[in-house]
Amino acid sequence: MKIVVQVKLMPRADQAAALSATLRAVNDAANWVSAVAFEHGVPREYALRKHTYAELKGRGLGAQAAQHTIKKVRDAYTTLQANIRAGNLGEKGSKRRTKAESKPVIFRPEAAHPFDDRCLSWQYDAQTVSIWTTAGRIRNVHFVCSADALKTLREHRRGESIWSNATVCST
């Protein structure tokens, strides 16, 4: 079972610019990885990593951000295939299914992106986070949440955090 806690980041202007630029960069990179996955018939995650990891690092993504970008794309294609198999996009040859199968998955510029403990760390007492960005690690990004959410975060914080446009959900 996952426990989800939502917190709101309250970055300064310079921090907000770095966070926004990072989301745009990782989603632009995800669109490129998606095009590669589509071109190569959506190989397994390891094969996709062989085709894309070096380029992602060359684009300025850190090692973990590159890995999460590849996994995010692979997960999107897994979901697409599951929806096709379940018939959620219509019968073979239907307009909706044909459209979905005919082009790479696209990610919005400010779409959510996963982070793990190597990319994002929590300072509960100060209610701040330290987070990797394409401009380098930024520290002391203030966050707010309810007292209950903070208690849950302290007691159950494990795994991955999903970051989206100034909001972080932690599991």
Q: What is the pLDDT of residue 169?
A: 61
| 70-125 tens-digit pLDDT | 999 999 999 999 999 999 999 999 999 999 999 999 999 999 998 888 898 999 99
Q: Which of 70, 83, 65, 82 is nearest to 22 (CA)?
A: 65
Instruction: Give me the pLDDT at residue 100, please.
Output: 94
Residue type, 95: K
Contact 6, 145 (CB under 8 A): yes
Q: Is-above-0.75 flag for pTM?
A: yes
Q: Which residue has tokens 């082009």?
A: 103
Largest CA distance in the chain: 56
In the predicted model, what is the mean pLDDT of the chain?
91
4 against 30, higher pLDDT: 30
